[in-house]
A and B are shown apart, each in its own frame.
Chain A
Amino acid sequence: MKMMTPQSEADLAECIAGASGPMWIQGGNTRGCSGSGAVLSTRGLAGLTLYEPGSLTLVVKAGTPVAEVKALLKGENQQLAFEPMDHRVLLGTAGEPTMGGLFAANVSGPRRIQAGAARDFLLGVRFVDGRGQVLRNGGRVMKNVTGYDLVKLMAGAHGTLGVLSEVSLKVLPLAETMTTVAVPNIDLATGVRALCSALGSPFDVTGAAYDPQAQTAYVRLEGFAASVAYRARELIQRLSVFGQVEEVTGSAQLWRDIRDVRDFAGRPGDVWRISVKPTDAIGLIPALGAIRTLCDWGGGLVWALMPEGDDVRAKMTVPGHATLVRATSNTNRAARHHPETAPLAALSAGLREQFDPRGILNPGLMG
């Protein structure tokens, strides 16, 4: 397959303007989703444009490896607070995730419930649309309502409206310490209710997961040491109505594993990511017929390891949406996303038509 690796934004614009067929946009190729046509890699567009720790602001080229950015931020005791998952664990892929890929797919982790999603941290974008035009929207400041928010539109558009060339984002301080409070030996319904209780407390919970295999609910607290200790005590008391509560060690690894759904790695089957109202997970999970499940976001994010080809979307009896994240060979890879209602599908198609009139950017990826 033809591979294009533009070295500048102008190059990128030229590549797209001159394209004659479908282009599959690739950052670090860690989520590996391409069809026939050319591959357009953003890896040539790498590097730091600006970092102002005192303004909590970072601007980088889209092809910059996430690992480089994390290391840079760590040096200033800051972080990507939306805690993006590392797809390599679940998908068994190699490659190096890029900042552009991360925002194009709106990749967020456990802290999404408290800090927000990747899209909430994206302040500005530069991108090349399907016409080959260089466009920008937003900026590098935290509050900006100047014109329409195309920044949000680009986050999670999976490259179907344009290829990101540069992103500016808000970063946050790294917490001094973290701990995890666990409630073992409780069933799904009690587990989700315990998470809801923790999230509805004033104790600023930054992670709330339930593992149906371990029958355990986990709640994470982060911040200054004295504050974390205080809130852990309070939470243990609050959650004691649900079962025996204990503080567990190894928080960093535990939440990395939850973030990356490590438990599903290497196990055969399709992996679905389901977004629902947290308490709806209680009824939904038993109805899925899944091999394994994992609840994050207080129950609002359900990871389901399904038998090959078993389509979760047909089993959704509650509002929300399901996305196929890992497909086995026999599963229809093209239909990854949840179907939209007719008027929303019309708006989405209209937007794709405006931003990519030739339909060449990741065609069909989102519908």
Chain B
Amino acid sequence: MEMPSPNAAILARKAELIAQLRRVLPDDAIISDEVETRAYECDALTAYKCPPMLAVLPRSTQEVAAVLHICHRAGVPVVPRGAGTSLAGGALPTADCVILGVARMTEVLETDYENRIIRVQTGRTNLSVSGAVEEEDFFYAPDPSSQLACAIAGNIAMNSGGAHCLKYGVTTNNLLGVTMVLMDGTVIEVGGAHLDAGGLDLLGVICGSEGQLGVVTEATLRILHKPEGARPVLIAFDSNEVAGACVSDIIKAGILPVAIEFMDRPCIEACEAFAKAGYPMCEALLIVEVEGSAAEIAHQLDLIKGIARRHNPVELREAGDAEEAARIWLGRKSAFGAMGQINDYMCLDGTIPVSALPQVLRRIEELSDEYGLKVANVFHAGDGNMHPLILFDANKEGDLETCEAFGAEILKLCVEVGGCLTGEHGVGIEKRDLMLHQYDAVDIEAQLRLKDVFDPKWLLNPAKVFPLSTTSTRRSPSLAAQ
């Protein structure tokens, strides 16, 4: 993966930059030691590593503004970092950058149950936002798999989803307002506790902009009262096609489950070996979860079981109590961990129209044979967000490259059938060079122009999202100016 070569002029002024930062940050917030900056050399896309020139860990919006103001004046690129859980390399540094981590900004600033909002500093983890409102039985709906570790800052940057977004939407649907610092240090407030901020929908475009438009330091999030209960049902089929048809029929019947998860045989086998959840051995397995009171759950599950039976399932298992529900979810929730036990893997994130499911799974199987690498599929079937896991051996010469080439083929396939490269992980560096498969050059140019407005010097996370060839003229003037 090509990254821009570091700017020697910036590196030469490292000591000067540290001196300037010391004036606005406490000493313990500046990390310049070569050993310590290693901690920031990568995110969860560990195949790529590069220690930054410096890392800073501010505690407030004012400190973030001061840091950005200094870096802007000095022409130093800044890579914002939440908890470093990006699977797409969104927080991968360059050697001449300052990593701006929000990990120390974890305060809850306001909780308002009457108006159903919480305002937090964005370094707070996703799960601890729900934790902060649990005493009143409220929760924050988006639930990415990494929710124990990932920060709200990163959730906003990547517009993160999760298993339950079929009903509750993704981050952008649950974000009401932000305090954001622009690259030049200007602090802006967009939206707030009210709905639909006036003017252009800047909030909508900030969400999912991968830390390229500004650093979001505080966020107003929608919180909801927990449902009275939830219960999953597990449905096993002997073919992917039939499972796909069942998903479609459930949706057409007017039922909106909170989650419909899909696992194929390789994934089931791996999960079973790892988590021993007692899954039936079959070609395709659905976990469908519904919410409500006991009677509402029973009614919806009756409808779902009725539909499932018309598709002759191999097995239909309903959770009788919380323990059985946990067992049904156990395998799915440990899917990534299970794969990690067996192998190195690369997790893809393309989204496809639900109707294209059987066709896409068939083609992935063919590609798997062609590339000689195994794939396990686990995904959010209700919204077509796939997570094919390609297994490879990082210690084997050339295996990573083969895996990446295979992954690129799958993502192109997603685009061909009417889907997209990434449903919830973001583009980062991982899918950067595939952007021209989804968008024409003019469409990319329109997006670059948007960044021009927020960050005219192209200093914020500049080497991400777009193919380097499309951004080189924008990035180079700021470098040449040094």
Q: B201: which A residues are within 8 A, CB to CB?
A: 106, 119, 152-153, 155-157
- Interface mask (B146-186 → A, CB under 8 Å = 1, otherwise 0): 00000000000011010001100110110000000010001
Residue of A nearest to B446 (CB): A135
Say whether A200 contacts B189, CB under 8 Å. Answer: no
A351-B200, A355-B449 as given contacts; A145 in contact with B194, CB under 8 Å:
no
**CB < 8 Å: which of B194, B209, B228, B447 contacts A320?**
B194
> Do B199 and A200 touch (CB < 8 A)?
no
In the bound assembly, the distance between CA atoms of A148 and B226 in angstroms comes to: 31
Tell whether A149 is near chain B: CB-to-CB under 8 Å.
yes
Residue of B115, B194, B351, B353 most packed against chain A (CB within 10 A) = B194
Beta-carbon contact of B192 and A277 below 8 Å: yes
Does chain B have a CB within 8 A of A251?
Answer: no
Q: Which residues of B have CB within 8 Å of A323?
A: 198
Q: Is A350 a contact partner of B252 (Cβ separation < 8 A)? A: no
CB atoms of B427 and A147 under 8 A apart: yes
Contact A149-B208, Cβ < 8 Å, known A120-B173, A143-B424, A323-B198: yes
- Which residues, 291 to 328 on A, are CB-close (under 8 Å) to B? 297, 300-301, 319-321, 323
Known: A120-B173, A155-B204. A55 touches B158 (CB 8 A): no
Q: Any chain B CB within 8 A of the CB of A1?
A: no
Q: Smallest distance from the beta carbon of A118 to chain B beta carbons, Å?
A: 9
| A135 vs B448: C-alpha distance when bound (angstroms) | 13
Across chains A and B, the number of contacting residue pairs, with CB separation under 8 Å, is 263
**Chain A residue at minimal CB-CB distance from B250:** A54
Contact yes or no, B427 A146, CB < 8 A: yes
* Cβ-neighbour of B384 out of A137, A142, A280, A343 (below 8 A): A142
Q: Is B89 an interface residue (CB 8 A)?
A: no
Q: Which of B117, B203, B249, B252 contacts A76 (CB 8 A)?
A: B252
Q: B447, A146: Cβ atoms under 8 Å? A: no
Shortest CB distance B294–A (Å): 10
Q: A54-B251, A201-B225 are in contact. Are A344 and B199 (CB under 8 A)?
A: yes
- Does B299 belong to the interface (CB within 8 Å)? yes
Q: A135 near B442 (CB under 8 angstroms)?
A: yes
Inter-chain contacts of B226 with A (CB < 8 A): 202
Give the residues in chain A near B397, CB-CB below 8 Å: none
Q: Mark B238-251, 1 if CB is under 8 A from A, else 0.
A: 00000000011101
Residues of A within 8 A of B112 (CB): 277
Chain B contacts for A348, CB-based, 8 A: 199-200, 202
Q: Does chain B have a CB within 8 A of A43?
A: no
Shortest C-beta distance, B278 to chain A (Å), equals 30
Determine whether the beta carbon of A153 is less than 8 Å from that of B205. Answer: yes
B293 at the interface (CB under 8 A from A): yes
In the complex, whether B438 has a CB less than 8 A from a CB of chain A is yes
Give bound CA distance, A217 to B410, whole Å: 52
The CA-CA distance from A155 to B185 in the complex, in Å, is 28
| Residue B383, interface by CB 8 Å | yes
Q: Which residue of B lies closest to A168 (CB)?
A: B418
Cross-chain contact A149 with B207 (CB below 8 angstroms): yes
Q: B251–A276 contact, CB under 8 A?
A: no
Check A139–B199 contact: CB distance below 8 A: no
B292 at the binding interface (Cβ < 8 Å): yes
State which of B170, B255, B435, B446 has its C-beta within 8 Å of the C-beta of A129. Answer: B446
* Across-interface contacts of B169 in A (CB, < 8 A): 116, 120
Q: Name A133's contact: one of B115, B419, B425, B442 (CB within 8 Å).
A: B442
In this complex, what residue of A is CB-closest to B192? A319
The chain A residue sitting closest to B253, CB to CB, is A173
| A154 vs chain B, min Cβ distance (A) | 8
Cβ contact within 8 Å between A176 and B254: yes
Beta-carbon contacts of B4-27 to A below 8 Å, as 1s and 0s? 000000000000000000000000
- Measured between beta carbons, the chain A residues less than 8 angstroms from B121 are none
Interface residues of A in 147-177 (CB under 8 A from B): 147-153, 155-157, 160-161, 172-174, 176
State A76–B248 Cα separation when bound (angstroms): 13
User: Which residues on the A side are within 8 Å of B424 (C-beta)?
Assistant: 143, 145
Within 8 A of B (CB), among A322-360: 323, 337-338, 340-341, 343-344, 347-348, 350-351, 353-355
Chain B nearest CB, measured from A14 CB (Å): 16
How far is it, in angstroms, between the C-alpha of A52 and the C-alpha of B417 when the chains are bound? Answer: 14
A241 part of interface (Cβ distance < 8 Å): no
In the assembled complex, how far is the CB of residue A102 from the closest CB belonging to chain B, in whole angstroms? 14
A142 near B194 with CB under 8 A, answer no
B130 at the interface (CB under 8 A from A): no
Pairs A–B under 8 Å by Cβ, sample size 17: A55-B248, A141-B418, A145-B158, A146-B421, A148-B450, A148-B465, A149-B205, A149-B207, A152-B207, A173-B254, A174-B254, A224-B299, A227-B292, A230-B295, A301-B195, A341-B189, A366-B199
11 additional contacts (CB under 8 A) given A119-B204, A135-B442, A147-B435: A56-B251, A106-B201, A135-B443, A145-B426, A155-B201, A156-B200, A202-B225, A204-B227, A275-B194, A278-B115, A354-B450
Chain B interface residues toward A at CB < 8 A: 112-117, 137-138, 158-159, 161, 165-166, 169-170, 172-173, 182, 186-190, 192-205, 207-209, 225-228, 247-249, 251-256, 292-293, 295-296, 299-300, 351-355, 380, 383-385, 418-427, 431, 435, 438-440, 442-444, 446-447, 449-454, 465-466
The 4 closest A-B pairs by CB, nearest first: A152-B204, A321-B198, A54-B248, A143-B423
